[in-house]
Amino acid sequence: MTAALVQLLTSVPALVSAPTPVSALVSAPAPAQVLAHGVGSRHDLPLSPFYAYAGAFTALLVSFLALGLLWSSSRFRGDLAGRPLPAVLQRAADAPPTRAALRLLGAVLSLVFLLHLLLGPDDPDRNPAPGALYVLLWVGLVPASLLLGPVWRLLNPLRALHALHPPRNPRPLPAALGIRPAAAGLLLFTWLELVAPDNTSRTTLLTALALHVGVHLLGAARYGDRWFAHADPFEVYSSLLARLSPLGRRADGRLVLRSPFDGLDSTPRVPGLVATVCVLLGSTAYDGLSDNPRWITTLQTSPLGPVPTATLGLLSTVALAAACYGLCAGALRLADRELTTPLTSFAHSLLPIALGYLTAHYFSLLVTEFSRTVIMAGGTDNAPSPALSLSPGGLATLQVAAVVTGHVLGVIAAHDRSVRLFPPARAVAGQLPLFALMITYTLGGIGLLVA
C-alpha cells in the first residue's frame, strides 16, 4: 500500500498486493511485492476487465436514462427533512454530561496513543501507534461517521485542549476561508501516509503530531472553536462522510432519521468543498496507482528520486481529479449562464464517489488490521492478523461494486440538483457534462482495480 503501512501490514493474508515502500525503492533491484490492503491488480484479482467496465457503464447509463424519464422534479429536502427521534434520545444526546463524557473519551484515547508512541518500541509490528493513526482513525472514521454522524467533532481532543483556555474575543472567520485549510491538511496527511519515508517511525509521527496540534491550537486561539469545523482535516473529513449517514440534524437542531440523500443535499456550498473532495478522490486514486508495476519502475528509475517523484504523482492525481471536475463545471456554466456557482452546486455529488473509492481501497485493511491494532494496544506484541473471510473473487466483486455504487449514488444526487437548478427543458441535457464526468471517474476507478 504505502510507505506508512508496509511494516505494519506484513502479516496480512496474501490476497492483495502493493508496491515497495518509497523509501526502499532506491536500492530495490526490481518491482518487489509486499502485502497490504484491498487494492489489487489483474494478476491477483480474478475479475475480467471487460465485464467490470461493461457492468459499470451499463449501471450508470441505465441510471441516467431512468432518472431522466421518471424523475422530473427535485425530491430531496436537505436539512428540512427527517423523522425526529424520541425526545428522550434527543435530550440524552445533547446533555452536557454526554458531551463531556465523549470529549473525555477522545482525550483518554489520544493520551493512550501518545504514551504508546513515546514509550513503546519504535517498531510498527510491536507498537500500535502507527496502526491507531492509519487504520483506527483514518479508515475507522469512515464507518463510524456513516453510522453515527460527525463523531470526530465530539471526540476531537484538540477541542478539549482548547476548552481549557478559550479566547475571550475570538475573531470571526473570513468568509472566503471556507474549509480550504482542511483540504490542505488532508493533502498533507495523505502525503504522510502515501509518500513520506519512515512514516511509521516515532520521530516522523511526533513531528507530524506536533505540527498538527500547534497549527490548530493557534488557529483556535485566534478564531475560537469554529476553527476546528473549518480547518481540522479529520473533523471536516468525518463531517463530510456523515452527510451520508441516516442519523443527522434538521435545520431546527432536531436529531432525526433521514434519507442519506437528504443529508447529502444539505452539504454546505462553502469555499474549499471542491478542493477537499478532489483531495479524497485524487489521493485514493494515487494509492491505487502506486500498486502498478510501471509506476514502481518509474519511482525506481526517476532521476528526481523516489520521494519527489511520488510527491509529484500524488499532486498530479489530485490535480487531474480537480481538472476533470473543473471542465465539467465550465461546461455546466456554458449550458446555463444563470448558474452562477457551478463548482459548488454539484460538488456534493462527488462525496458518494469518494466513499466508494475509500470502501474499495480500505475495506480489507480495516477488517484485517483493526483488531490487530487493538490487541497490540492491550499489550500483545506481534498480534496476528485475522484472515479475511472473503475470497479473492469476492473481494474483487466488493471493490468494483463499491466504486459503481458510489457513482450511481452520485448520478442520483446530481440529477436531483439538476432538475432543481435548470429549466425543465434543459434539466436532462444540462447534466450531460456531469454524466460524462461520472463515466470518466468510473472507468478510472475500475482501471485502478483491474489494470
| pLDDT tens digits along 152-166 | 999 999 999 999 988
332, 359, 335: which is closest to 414 by C-alpha?
Answer: 332
Q: pLDDT higher for 306 or 393?
A: 306
pLDDT surpassing 50 at residue 127: yes
333, 337, 389, 325: which is closest to 363 by C-alpha?
Answer: 389
Give whichever of 8-22, 33-47, 52-66, 215-229 has the largest mean pLDDT. 215-229
Confidence (pTM): 0.86
Give the DSSP H/E element, type plus range, for residue 349: none
Could you tell me the three cell numbers for 275?
478542493
pLDDT of residue 350: 92
Residue 348: DSSP 8-state: G
pLDDT of residue 368: 81
pLDDT of residue 11: 35
pLDDT of residue 383: 66
pLDDT of residue 446: 82
Give the C-alpha separation, 68 to 46, whole Å: 35
CA angle 260/149/215 to nearest 5° reads 125
pLDDT in tens, 339-374: 778 788 899 999 999 999 999 888 888 888 888 888
Q: pLDDT higher for 206 or 58?
A: 206
Q: What percent of the chain has pLDDT over 90?
A: 53
pLDDT of residue 35: 31
CA angle 423/406/389 to nearest 5° reads 165
pLDDT surpassing 60 at residue 393: yes
